[in-house]
Amino acid sequence: MNKSIYTIVFGVFAAAALAATPFYSANSKVYAENNCDFRQGLKNLSMAGTDSRENYSQENVRKELDVRKEILNLATDCAIGEALEIQSNVKSAQANYPEIRDDRNRILSRLDEIISYYRIQKDAIKDLGIEGSKIFSANLRIWRDSNYVPMDELGKNFLIFAKNQDILQITQNRFNQISLTLKTLGLADNQKISDILNQARKNLRLAGENNDSVKNIFKRLAWPNDASDLMVSSLRYLKDAYQNFFDISKEAQEIISSAK
């Protein structure tokens, strides 16, 4: 009895998995294989448009409408693939801190909404006429500008931002380690070394401030934003901090060598 129940449950899951697989793979496949080539479709549309204008008939109008629907279906499939791709990248980004995980979930959830919207739109294509397809296309284009484009940008910036958190932490650890070593070696009171160490501390602080501004952008999913500029600026401060570490090492070595 139990065995047969397990068999049924397993069968249901297997069937569900099989049913779900082609749906997702079809969407990602379209985009992944770079199959979103509209050139032939547009060529067909141009010919169908000319035919229906020069020789107006039900058949020619139907032909043009079919071509339009075919292109729109491909365009929405590609748009879904595009959104799924950025969603997959955001999903796989390392989020080692709770607030970064919150940001990630916020972006993923918004991308879910976008994908759902595309799917609803795709379902509506079959009922369109020629004029309807024109309005539909224009509206979808406007919608993408104000919904997909911001999330695409935020998603891509998030990938950089998530990685930056680890770099910031590593630089902070380096600073702590070098400070401790200088104290252990009795070099922390050396004026020159102390000055460079303070400079490194300042660079770390400025990098942190820029990073906090980016955090705020992701918290609100603000767009347009200057996240890219802020992240580059933050990284440059970290780079300067590393230059300070190199300088400290050089100074320390010189002092140790002269003391021998």
Partner 1 sequence: MEPIELLKKFKHLGADSDYTRKSKIVILSQGNDKLAGFSLASREIAAGVFRSGWSIAMTAVMLLLAIGSFSILKILSPAKTSVVDIGGLRAEAQAIDAQIELTNVFYNDILGLENKTSTVSAAPPEVKSPKAATVPTQNEINASLGSAETTSTKPTIDSVLDALSR
245 binds partner 1 (CB under 8 A): yes
Binding mask 164-203 for partner 1 (x = CB under 8 A): x--x--xx--x--xx--xx-xx-x----------------
CB neighbours of residue 88 within 10 Å: 12
208 binds partner 1 (CB under 8 A): no
8 binds partner 1 (CB under 8 A): no
Total residues in contact with partner 1, by rule CB under 8 A: 81
Rounded to an integer, what distance in angstroms lies between the CA atom of residue 229 and that of residue 237? 12
Footprint (CB under 8 A) of partner 1, residues 48-77: 49, 53, 68, 71-72, 75
CB-count exposure of residue 176 (10 Å: 0-12, 13-18, 19+): exposed
37 binds partner 1 (CB under 8 A): yes
The residue behind tokens 């919608």 is 143
Residue 224 region by backbone torsions, left for phi larger than 0, else alpha for psi between -120 and 50, else beta = beta
| Min CB(101)–partner 1 separation in Å | 20
| Min CB(193)–partner 1 separation in Å | 10
| Min CB(243)–partner 1 separation in Å | 8
Which span sits near partner 1 by CB under 8 A: 2-10, 20-28, 84-92, 112-120?
Answer: 112-120
Token readout for 244 is 């300070």
| Min CB(253)–partner 1 separation in Å | 6
Rounded to an integer, what distance in angstroms lies between the CA atom of residue 216 and that of residue 34? 35
* 92 touches 79 (CB < 8 A): no
Grouping H, G, I as helix, E, B as strand and the rest as coil, residue 223 is coil
| Min CB(1)–partner 1 separation in Å | 45
Token readout for 211 is 């990073």
97 binds partner 1 (CB under 8 A): no
Which span sits near partner 1 by CB under 8 A: 8-16, 54-62, 94-102, 246-254?
Answer: 246-254
Residue from 79, 162, 197, 200 touching partner 1 (CB under 8 A): that is 79
CB neighbours of residue 38 within 10 Å: 12
End-to-end CA distance of the chain: 85
219 binds partner 1 (CB under 8 A): no
